[in-house]
Amino acid sequence: MEIIIFKQLSACFILWAFLCNTALAAPYFEFKNSIGMGAAYQSINADLRSSVAALPEVSVDLDDLGMDREDWSWALEGRWRFKPKWMLVGLAYQFEHDGARAISRDFNFEGREFQVGTFLNTEISINTYIVDLMYQVYDSERAEVLVGGGVHAIDFDVSMSGAAFIGDQERQSARGSSELLAPLPNFRVQGFYAISQNWGAAVALGWLSADYDGYDGSFSYLHPRIAYAFAEHWSITAGYQYVKIDVTHQESNNRESAFDMNFNGPTIFMSYRF
């Protein structure tokens, strides 16, 4: 379903750009490069699993781990137009979250068993790195559309530690951790439309689905934004981001990790253009 929606949105944006081919000198097109920093307030749904053959496959979600479903994340982005029709785009997203609670059901993670009543502390870190080579398939004085692809690397790091007590005495403890770096190819479409001298609208769409070398993953990304150039070299954008990540890694015949996550929420970026 997400793939169909992304293709329809992409086609609509391209059609919109063609229909709006009106002469306008837009500051966006005067600068070849930009670098920006931003933040997103994300609503998160996640299921995590790190299983070994000797134990049943059990997934846990954020409620199991005592984590809030909303939090801030941070990002860097940049673009380099090294040829009139060619652009290199780089993005880095950082997300860290932690939680603590007495768990209400038995589960296992990375070969460690956690029982009902264990007080569990969990830390999750998700760093995402994207490098894409883009080619301009349409341009005018008002709009441009680029398509391309590259590598999408997702670095997951999950750590759980728990202890159960009888009175003040620790009865048992367990610790489990899992780290996964998933380098996957991705396809990307992005476009920009100049509404006026200082206002513009942009959208970026990304998608991947790959199965290779023990990895089975899919990734969907949608990020529409409104941009305002408040100075010659500076602009600010506000938008809404949707990300879905589903990665399974068969580490060996006896060990497998799986992460299924959705992120969505408003974003804001400050960019310097040069």
Domain of 152: which CATH number? 2.40.128.100
Range of the domain at 198: 2-273
pLDDT along the chain (274 residues), means of 10: 47 43 52 93 87 84 84 92 95 87 85 83 87 95 93 83 63 60 82 92 88 79 94 94 87 83 93 94
Are the C-beta atoms of residues 129 and 150 closer than 8 Å to each other?
Answer: no
User: What is the number of structural domains in the chain?
Assistant: 1
| DSSP-derived secondary structure letter, 29 | G
Q: What is the pLDDT of residues 25-78, one digit of tens each?
A: 456 677 889 999 999 998 888 888 888 887 888 888 888 888 888 888 899 999
CA dist., res. 204 & res. 89, Å (int) = 11
3-state secondary structure of 27: helix
Plot region of 219 (φ>0 → left; ψ -120 to 50 → alpha; else → beta): beta
**Separation between Cα atoms, residue 196 and residue 131, nearest integer Å:** 30
User: What is the pTM assigned to this prediction?
Assistant: 0.79
CA dihedral (112, 61, 210, 138) in degrees, to 10, reads -150
Classified as helix, coil or strand, 17 is helix
DSSP 22: -
Map residue 133 onto helix, strand or coil.
Answer: strand
Burial zone of 196 (CB within 10 Å; 0-12 exposed, 13-18 middle, 19+ buried): exposed
